[in-house]
Structure 1
Amino acid sequence: MDEKPDYWTQLAWITAGASPLMAWRRAAGLSVAELARLSGIGAEVIVAIEARGHLPSYEERCQLSAALGLGPGDLED
């Protein structure tokens, strides 16, 4: 990813109640499948994290944040 996802789009999703991962993914214009491919984390795990049904490990946050061009702390709920 060449550009950091749009902050204002991310903020709008967070305000609407989305998880940080979902908000940043949508701000980046990525599908779950695309993020799974870029991060190496299964789509089913990403869906569970976004639904707040799975607490990501630090390693998972690192992989996901790197795929989104962010720092791991940006994905903390």
Structure 2
Amino acid sequence: MLNYIKLKMSSGTQNIIVTSITQPLYKKKIISIAKDAAKAANLYNKVKELNDKDTQSPVLGIKDAIRISQM
């Protein structure tokens, strides 16, 4: 059986503890979102570059974007 210790803390102390726990999680999530956005921007630029170079097929489709992303 677990023993629990009840501590009396001010709300300021509780906020500091919660912030210290959640801040790294938020930072990881933001970094993950930024990486996904960078990948999407890179993919867009690759497709645009290929569209600009290719005169026979001016528009690439979704299958082309998937193929490019796997390069």
Give the number of the structure whose alpha-carbon radius of gyration is greater. Answer: 2
TM over 0.5: no
Return the TM-score normalized by structure 1: 0.22
Return the TM-score normalized by structure 2: 0.23
- Structure with the larger RCO, 1 or 2 (CA within 8 Å, 6+ apart): 1
